[in-house]
Structure 1
Amino acid sequence: MYNFKTVAELIELAEKNEVSLAQIVIRREMELAEQTEAQVRAKMISSLEVMRAAIKKGLQEDISSMSGLTGGDARRIEKARLAGKTVVGDLFSRALANTLAVSEVNAAMGKIVAAPTAGSCGILPGSLLTIADHNNCTQTEIVDALFVAAGFGVIIAQQASVSGAAGGCQAECGSASSMAAAAISYLLGGDNKAITSAAAIALKNILGLVCDPVAGLVEVPCIKRNAIGTSNALTSAELALAGVESLIPADEVIVAMKKVGDALPCELKETSLGGLATTPTGCKIKSQLRQNSLKTERNE
């Protein structure tokens, strides 16, 4: 009864039932999971707690990935922010630090929420929770916004993909950025038109982004692309809430993303056979990591 596959269907259901987009997504989950609203909300609260814990861990602990390629950048951004050394302002800088914190926890094999994937896990919590805390939003309001993000994630997954291997990084960081933009717009009181425009603008802005992880690891350039995804989400929400509309409807943008992903060569879809992965430095890093791995195996 509350199933939807497109943004247009989601909005139609909300308007027909005279409820919010969040409530439609909640009712869909209740039907699929055969659970009460309280149970469904409890699960999302649990996810929210994991997101907050990942931010805290990434900012307070000295963590690094197993490869040694990444770690500590979130704390560097936070240190600069606290010292007032920011180009983009305190709020924006805080969002970037929070985003990198979650992404670095993921690279260090810590606990995160894949939203929608592990490789793009920093964007939604980094942007949404920063804005929510800045505006003193309640837990209920944040949870509702997360359900809106989930709804758009479901739609993108059904019409296109959220997999880097299938559609490039546009399907991961692009989708996460679109979900975050929609959630932020909803959280700050945007109407359905603003929410869908924010989602569409965010996805348009990262259309065609390739997936080219150095040495096959979800670290370089993935973590910094999470920061760009957060920047994009905040920009898109800002535009949409000011009344800037996406001339291309969200559903058409999603389908376009699918077509672009299908057109990308396999070298640019998580195979590490193109892009930054095949630069001289990228190849050197891969070779060095392989040598380190062989040494470890011999010692064992």
Structure 2
Amino acid sequence: MTFKHLLDMWKETNIPFEEIILTEEMVETGMDPTIIRNNMKKLVEVMLTEAEKNYGKKHDSLTGLTGNNAPKLLNHSPKLLSEFNYVATVTAISTAENNAAMGRIVACPTAGACGVVPAILYALKTIHNASFNDLVSSFIIAGAIGNIVAKKATISGAAGGCQAEIGTAAAMASAALTYYFSKDAEKCGHAASLALKSLMGLVCDPVGGFVEVPCVKRNASAANVAITTAEMALAGIESVIPFDEVVDAMYRVGKMMHEDLRETGNGGIAATPTAKKLVEDIRKSWK
């Protein structure tokens, strides 16, 4: 499946983009579109339920390196973020910290990037009173973006760096936001491209190999990248490079990365003196 193929079908018909995606998935997998949509509904339900449950809550992570960031942001009066961005940011951190505490999440597309898509869905529900069905429709577009990246490239930090995880999540969220407000498949492609390009080259460097630092805060940053790129796409700003080609470029960049920059915990900020000392202290505390 390529985005160009889906886009060409959308342009040639009057069928809503989400239905084209479900039909193509049926062709590839043989699964009834109704079953696929119902599965997507279950995932959205979990994301919204957990977002509501964990919004701004404190969590106890395995290492103690994270878990209290969401309450800090919740108790902060935002000076720069819009109400939508603020809710999305709190949600992203809350969801990622819930994951670090072994809570229930939807790996979307991965556990390390689990906060981005729920952030925009929960913000749409909270700020724009989005209906559940509209959120599911937008999530179907997000799913297609993630599926294309997974098939053409990778969504694994170990294979392609954090750009493959958090970058894909941002692309998914940006496309979902754009679809909610426009129902325009072409703009969704531009939004996803702009988001993925913004995070291309991002290394995967978890301190101690734990999905905590810098992963949790990257979810918050990526949610705002998704919002910004969606706004640009809705305004008519286009990505010069088509989405399929952006995905191919991301994959090549990932292959060029040294293995230390791909989830090993041996490079990037994981190799800093402070990170090494933190890991040493954690190991001592476990003995």
TM-score (norm 1): 0.91
**3-state DSSP class of the match of 1:210?**
coil
RMSD over aligned CA atoms reads 1.6
Asked if 2 retains the 8 angstrom alpha-carbon contact of 1:178 and 1:198, the reply is yes
Q: Which residue of 1 aligns with 2:133?
A: 140
Q: 1:23 to 1:64 in 2, by over 3 A?
A: same
1:71 maps to 2:64: no
1:20 to 16, 20, 25: 16
Sequence identity (%): 39
CA offset digits 1:187-238 (Å, max 9, x no partner): 1115222111100000000010000000000000001111111010000000
Between stretches 10-19 and 257-266, larger displacement belongs to 10-19
- Residue 250 of structure 1, aligned match among 233, 238, 243: 243
Aligned pairs for 1:270-285 within 5 A: 270-285=263-278
The alignment status of 1:204 with 2:159, answered yes or no, reads: no
The answer for the alignment partner of 1:47 in structure 2 is 43
Alpha-carbon distance, 1:180 to partner: 0.6
Contact kept, 8 Å, 1:14 with 1:24, in 2: the verdict is yes
C-alpha distance in structure 1 between counterparts of 2:235 and 2:72, whole Å: 32
Matched-pair contact (CA < 8 Å) for 2:193–2:239: yes
Task: Identify which of 136, 160, 173 aligns with 2:166.
Answer: 173
Q: Give the SS at the match of 1:10.
A: helix
Q: Distance in 2 between matches of 1:257 and 1:105?
A: 29
Q: Give the direction of change, closer, same or farther, for the CA distance of 1:232–1:276 in structure 2 (3 Å limit).
A: same
Offset at residue 74 of structure 1 (A): 1.5
Deviations 1:107-155 (A, max 9, x none): 1101110110000000011023313432222111110110100001111
Q: 2: distance between equivalents of 1:170 and 1:125?
A: 18
Distance 2:97 2:210 in 1: 12
The secondary structure found in structure 2 opposite 1:172 is: helix
Report the Cα distance in structure 1 between the residues aligned to 2:224 and 2:78, rounded to whole angstroms: 18
Show the counterpart of 2:53: 57
d(CA) in 2 for partners of 1:149, 1:190: 13
- 2:96 counterpart residue number: 103
Question: Could you tell me which residue of structure 1 aligns to residue 106 of structure 2?
Answer: 113
Aligned equivalents of 1:78, 1:60: Cα separation in 2:
5
Which one is further off, 128-137 or 141-150?
Answer: 128-137
Q: Secondary structure at the match of 2:182?
A: coil
Matching residue within 5, 11, 14 for 2:7 = 11
Note closer, same or farther for the CA distance 1:60–1:87 as it changes in structure 2 (3 Å cut): closer
Between 202-211 and 21-30, report the one with greater CA deviation: 21-30
In structure 1, list runs of 5 or more residues that go unmatched.
Answer: 296-300
Check whether the contact 1:182–1:237 (CA below 8 A) recurs between aligned residues.
yes
Q: Kindly provide the amino acid, as one letter, of the partner of residue 79 in structure 1.
A: N
- 1:28-77 CA distances to partner (integer Å, 9 max, x unpaired)? 34455644443322211111111112212322643221211111211221
Cα separation, partners in 2 of 1:273 and 1:125, compared to 1, 3 Å: same
2:170 partner SS: helix
1:235 & 1:214 partners in 2: Cα distance? 28
Secondary structure in 2 aligned to 1:197?
helix
| d(CA) in 1 for partners of 2:51, 2:61 | 16
**TM-score, L = length of structure 2:** 0.95
Cα distance in structure 2, aligned partners of 1:192 and 1:36: 22
Quick one: which of 207, 212, 217 aligns to 1:214?
A: 207
One-letter code of the match for 1:164? G
> What do the CA deviations read for 1:83-104 (whole angstroms, capped 9, x no partner)?
x443223221111001111111
Whichever residue aligns with residue 258 of structure 2, its letter is P
